[in-house]
Amino acid sequence: MDDLTTGKRNKRGDWVPNAPLVTSPLFRLPPQLTKLPAWLPGYFLPWNVLFMVTAALFWTWFFPDVAAMADWHWSWMLHILALNLIAATLFYSALEVPLYLKRRQANRFKYNGKFPGDARNPAFWFGSQNAEGALRTLGTGVPIWTAFQCLIGWSAANGYGLTLTFAENPVYLLALGFCVPIWHEFHFYCVHRLIHMPLLYKHIHSVHHHSVNPSPWSSLSMHPVEQLLYFSSCLIHLVIPSNPIVALYGLHYAGFGAVVGHIGFDKIELTEGRGLDTHAYTHYLHHKYFEVNYGDGLMPLDKLFGSWHDGTAEGDALMEARFKAKVARTNR
Ligand SMILES: [Zn+2]
Ligand SMILES: [Zn+2]
């Protein structure tokens, strides 16, 4: 595919999309309901539907029996851990291998022209972004993700919340499923702003920001405390009326969906004429500039609090002005 019809490449080889980033029409004021029909398909497809399907499949086919999860026992927890280690490795590799190892589409639609695997970087364990990312993901990220899944399973088995069924409450549960990414965005924004406070940034969040040029294994390359906070979004399902598949969808959205924001490419080429939009540019700009786009724009929180960057020269100018005002405040 020709990536220069929808973007441009600078001298360093970095590709920038022509169209400015926009926040979703869900929360605009005044409401822009007429824009919803064009926006909704991209909200569901392909990623959200994929994670809904994986959540339903995992809960009904691959998870231990609900009755077995009523008592804490290492056997069923190890079962879920093994399942998640295999699933995460397969899903992350399904993007890492063709795009970063085989480089099937070279640097077409790639925001940063360089590939992180090409040079040693002493900021990372063994000088390798991929090695540290994979070790942190599989070593602590997936076990913490699993711990939350075990808590959901144990709670459902004991009737501690998660008692609604799709047969009896289809409309409510489908509406709740629709809201899962919105809740994730709100929770992620709050946690993310918190860990950008200087002390927490220095000791916790700086680990994730070592990846200035993120790739799939950067997604959960976080300090364990950040992983714990990140996945805690699922705890809401123990407080509000919910269902285990919807709760698991929230966790799949967080665990698998993290990769989508760190893919580093604007489009995954499928055929010569067709590609899959990743919508990764918003979070890429956060990794590039640190103090913009704490959220992904599903909710207009960055706009509201003045940290939105739409990827244009005007966005650069606004960011520069904010930075100068901050320096002036600090020096006053
Ligand atoms: Zn990130
Ligand atoms: Zn950050």
69 within 8 A of 156, measured Cβ to Cβ: yes
CB within 8 Å of 178: residues ≥ 6 apart: none
Q: Which residue type sits at 248?
A: L
Does residue 265 sit in helix, strand or coil?
strand
CA 82/CA 143 separation, integer angstroms: 9
pLDDT reported for residue 29 = 75
In this structure, what token pair is assigned to residue 64?
């231990």
**Cα(69) to centroid of ligand 2, in Å?**
36
306-315 LR contacts (CB < 8 Å, sep 24+): 308/23, 309/21, 309/285, 310/20, 310/21, 310/22, 311/16, 311/17, 311/20, 311/21, 311/281, 311/285, 312/20, 315/20
300 within 8 A of 186, measured Cβ to Cβ: no
pLDDT surpasses 90 at 28? no
Place 32 in a pLDDT band, splitting at 50, 70 and 90.
confident
pLDDT reported for residue 267 = 96
Phi, psi of 79 (to 5 degrees): -55, -50
Name the helix (H) or strand (E) containing 72.
Answer: none
pLDDT surpasses 80 at 175? yes
**Mean pLDDT score, 295-321:** 95
**Cα(159) to centroid of ligand 2, in Å?**
37
pLDDT reported for residue 37 = 93
**Cα(157) to centroid of ligand 1, in Å?**
34
**Cα(175) to centroid of ligand 1, in Å?**
28
**Cα(38) to centroid of ligand 1, in Å?**
27
**Cα(294) to centroid of ligand 1, in Å?**
9
**Cα(237) to centroid of ligand 1, in Å?**
24
**Mean pLDDT score, 84-95:** 97
pLDDT surpasses 80 at 287? yes
**Cα(28) to centroid of ligand 2, in Å?**
25
**Mean pLDDT score, 142-171:** 97
**Mean pLDDT score, 152-161:** 96
**Cα(189) to centroid of ligand 2, in Å?**
10
CA 111/CA 119 separation, integer angstroms: 17
**Cα(164) to centroid of ligand 1, in Å?**
34
Average confidence score pLDDT of the chain: 95
**Cα(205) to centroid of ligand 2, in Å?**
7
**Mean pLDDT score, 280-296:** 96
**Cα(82) to centroid of ligand 1, in Å?**
25
Task: Look up the pTM and report it.
Answer: 0.95
pLDDT reported for residue 30 = 77
**Cα(244) to centroid of ligand 2, in Å?**
30
CA 325/CA 234 separation, integer angstroms: 37
